[in-house]
Structure 1
């Protein structure tokens, strides 16, 4: 029995490159899934806050945030956003920085851990990122998060209780501690089987190649174990 590849992804809901990386990973794995000996893969998302000091209700738009957070001009910020919007479009994503509501993401991360416990983490990760980058939804607000949880097939009342209780905050902090232990200081970051690290929103083809290479290693290890 060959063990599936485990891909652990550190990302932040508010990271534009993380959504691009998510989409490219999915495309790469879909490509590899057509192989005669298709890799079996388990993907798990982990919490990383790019800007934990961001208020829930940030005053200003995304260019204001970038210029203040990175110490750059508004023109430079707009150029950065134009670039990432183009890369996102290549990945099939239509970013709307004109309506995006920058916010603190810790509650969204808590909700992702609630979703993981319910077996719906991948569905919620997609729904949250889509809502944030393409729909201008406010992911710092409880009602919005509960609504999006319901969209992802989760029970709204249970999601609200999870947010209000704060019982998944420790899991968020544990993810962040693990990221620090791995030396991760930027996202997206992909850890393959706990031993290979891949940084950044790599092209879909790169993820397909990684999956095939690691799956071949799994097959070899499985055959050696039988022998």
Structure 2
């Protein structure tokens, strides 16, 4: 009798306006590739949970530069923060083009698309959609609150262009979220087999170590 294929579930709490979440995703992708080399017997399952950082942003968005100047206190503070992100992004192979971004969007529609992808598509399609939305925003400066633009990204991933059912993003991970959401103070936040958790855009090495520890019997 064959032993069952081991499965590792990684839950990721994220928001699309968080550049550290894009860096964290790229680090997670790198860790996943290395896990596949070290443990080809393991099936890795990723579950993506929406964690909107700015849920009160109007549906039409807010002016991006003015929003961050008000939030951080001065254009100089904004420049310092962006320089920090650009440096971390370069190390992770993530290109940011903050000068192209005109609007700070409400991300509810983007998260609803991700939930729809989880319901009707494959894990690969969902990850592709997440990456495309991130890059549309941080690399191309597109408005990811725009329904027609999100529909186009969904089509490019082989997913339905029809608008998601309202509320789908809240049901996306209702059971695992209920157990650990109160522990999430920021994003990205990673949970490994409901036993280990990591906060922040940590390195691929750190993520891989957590994966291997979660796979090790207690």
TM-score class, shorter: 0.7 to 0.9
Distance 2:194 2:176 in 1: 16
Residues 39 and 212, structure 1, Cα contact 8 Å, conserved in 2 = no
Does residue 155 (structure 1) correspond to residue 171 (structure 2)? The answer is no
TM-score by length of 1: 0.84
Which structure would you say has the larger RCO, counting Cα contacts within 8 Å and 6 or more residues apart?
A: 1
Which TM-score applies when normalising by structure 2? 0.87
Q: Who is 1:224 aligned against?
A: none
User: How many residues are aligned here?
Assistant: 211
Work out whether 1:134 is the aligned partner of 2:139.
yes
User: Is 1:49 paired with 2:48?
Assistant: no
Q: In structure 1, what is the Cα distance between the partners aligned to 2:176 and 2:214?
A: 26
Work out the CA distance in 2 between the residues paired with 1:27 and 1:173. Answer: 24
CA change 1:80–1:209 in 2 (3 A) is same
Q: CA RMSD in A?
A: 2.3
State the 4+ residue runs in structure 1 displaced beyond 6 angstroms. Answer: none
| TM-aligned CA deviation for residue 180 of structure 1 | 6.9
**Alpha-carbon distance change, 210 to 172 in structure 1, aligned in 2, over 3 angstroms:** closer
Equivalences for 1:167-186 in 2 at 5 Å?
167-171=167-171, 174=174, 178=178, 181-186=181-186
Judging changes above 3 Å, is the alpha-carbon distance between structure 1 residues 7 and 141 closer, same or farther for their aligned structure 2 residues?
Answer: same
Measured after TM superposition, the shift of residue 90 of structure 1 is 1.2
Deviates more, 1:7-16 or 1:37-46: 37-46
In 2, the alpha carbon distance for the partners of 1:176 and 1:38 equals 25
Q: For 1:105 and 1:172, how far apart are their aligned partners in 2?
A: 15
Aligned position for 2:96: 95
- Aligned partners of 1:129 and 1:26: how far apart in 2? 14
- Unmatched runs of 5 consecutive residues or more in structure 2: none
1:20 equivalent in structure 2 = 23
Q: Which moved more, 1:28-37 or 1:39-48?
A: 28-37
Q: Which runs of 5+ in 1 are unaligned?
A: 222-227
